[in-house]
Amino acid sequence: MNVIAFLSQKGGSGKTTLSVHTAVAAEATGERVCVIDADPQESATAWASAREAGTPIVATAQAGELDAALRGP
């Protein structure tokens, strides 16, 4: 499993935009993709809810839950 993280303490730096666009591009090449939204604003989660496409999947997790979220159910 490959993990790509976009991290910055500064708000408005483009983390969500980079994340969701990278996820869509990776999925278009046949990769299985899941975005884990750890931002309290849950912008990626809102993005996924507004899309007609059901993928890529966006899961919401607190920063302290990332290890468990990466392991999956």
Higher local confidence (pLDDT), 42 or 70: 42
Residue 51 belongs to what domain range? Answer: 32-73
Instruction: Please report whether residue 19 resides in a domain.
Output: no
Measure the CA–CA gap between 59 and 65, rounded to whole angstroms. 11
- Residue 65 resides in a domain: yes
The first and second tokens of residue 36, run together, are 């884990």
Q: Between the CA of residue 23 and those of 29, 33, 51, 52, what are the distances in Å?
A: 10, 6, 14, 15
pTM assigned to the model: 0.85
Judged against a pLDDT cut of 80, whether residue 73 lies above it is answered with no
Domain count of the fold of the chain: 1
Rounded distance between C-alpha atoms, residue 27 and residue 61, angstroms: 21
pLDDT digit string (tens) for 19-67?
A: 999 999 999 999 999 999 999 999 999 999 999 999 999 999 998 888 8
Mean pLDDT, to the nearest integer, of 3-7?
90
Whether 2 maps to a domain, the answer reads no
Instruction: Scan for tokens 């483009």, then name that residue.
Output: 14
What is d(CA 49, CA 57) in angstroms, rounded to the nearest whole number? 10
Please check whether residue 49 lies inside any domain of the structure. Answer: yes
**Is 48 within the bounds of a domain?**
yes
50 belongs to a structural domain = yes
